[in-house]
Amino acid sequence: MKEPTLSGLYAITPDALLREPARLLDAVTAAARGGARLIQYRDKHHFGAERLALARALLQTCRAAGARLIVNDDAELAQSIGADGVHLGAGDGSLADARARLGPRALIGASCGNSLERARQARAAGADYVAFGRFFASTTKPDAPPADLRTLTAARRELDLAICAIGGITADNATQVLAAGADLVAAVEGVFGAADVEAAARAYVSLWPGSDTRIP
């Protein structure tokens, strides 16, 4: 596993735009213009050829906009389109298998809920970042168990990889997770639910010193 230098806004595609691919691609472009350098394709609705076509279109859009595309829960799809990485939740496959499939340069993330032990295991399995949450009320996953800001602090102190916070995080409350130790802030509705997606992304990105969130 390479030593990652990941920080900044991590924008995750919303369910509401998945049925309108043209609008989704425009919104992703706007988010990237606003400073999101990491985009996650999260799709529980499309399968087969439709899913593959949309993933390819998103990858092309991200490449043109200077962002990287992470595929949610599907290392096979990530490999087939040449995506920049994959994010795996609990029960969504082996991190070690994903690394073997995608290679050493891929960005691999793992959902850890509020579990530092799960994060330790993810790091040992080759993850580049671990994601904790939810920290605030979430419209995307309203029933997700809450996470404690102290878990971020403990992870930051112990783990030498990027820490991502997710779950109801807005540009107004993001300072809390950043102060607790998060490097990355993941957002769905806070970015894509805004009337001006680019401006919403910029509001998040402005929270990082120097607003330099490019991923080398």
Whether the CB-CB separation of 6 and 215 falls below 8 Å is answered with yes
For residue 173, say whether it is annotated as part of any ligand binding site. Answer: no
For residue 213, say whether it is annotated as part of any ligand binding site. Answer: no
For residue 2, say whether it is annotated as part of any ligand binding site. Answer: no
C-alpha triplet 11, 158, 176: angle, nearest 5°: 45
For residue 29, say whether it is annotated as part of any ligand binding site. Answer: no
One-letter amino acid for residue 68 of the chain: R
Cis status, amide bond into 134, omega within 30 of 0: yes
For residue 44, say whether it is annotated as part of any ligand binding site. Answer: yes
Query: Could you give the maximum distance between any two Cα atoms of the chain, in Å?
Result: 43
Active site residue 2: no
For residue 43, say whether it is annotated as part of any ligand binding site. Answer: yes
Active site residue 80: no
Quote the CA–CA distance of 174 and 190 in Å, as a whole number. Answer: 11
Active site residue 111: yes
For residue 138, say whether it is annotated as part of any ligand binding site. Answer: yes
For residue 141, say whether it is annotated as part of any ligand binding site. Answer: yes
Question: Which contiguous run of DSSP H or E holds residue 77?
Answer: helix 75-81
For residue 42, say whether it is annotated as part of any ligand binding site. Answer: yes
26 Cβ contact partners less than 8 Å away, ≥ 6 residues apart: none
Quote the CA–CA distance of 3 and 64 in Å, as a whole number. Answer: 26
For residue 128, say whether it is annotated as part of any ligand binding site. Answer: no
Quote the CA–CA distance of 186 and 166 in Å, as a whole number. Answer: 5
For residue 168, say whether it is annotated as part of any ligand binding site. Answer: yes
Quote the CA–CA distance of 119 and 205 in Å, as a whole number. Answer: 25
Catalytic residue among 37, 42, 68, 134: 42
For residue 196, say whether it is annotated as part of any ligand binding site. Answer: no
CA distances 12 to 86, 142, 191, Å, are: 12, 16, 8
Catalytic residue among 2, 19, 23, 141: 141
Catalytic residue among 7, 37, 68, 111: 111
Catalytic residue positions? Answer: 42, 111, 141
Residues tagged in the binding site annotation:
40-44, 72-73, 92, 111, 138-141, 168
Residues tagged in the binding site annotation for Mg(2+):
73, 92
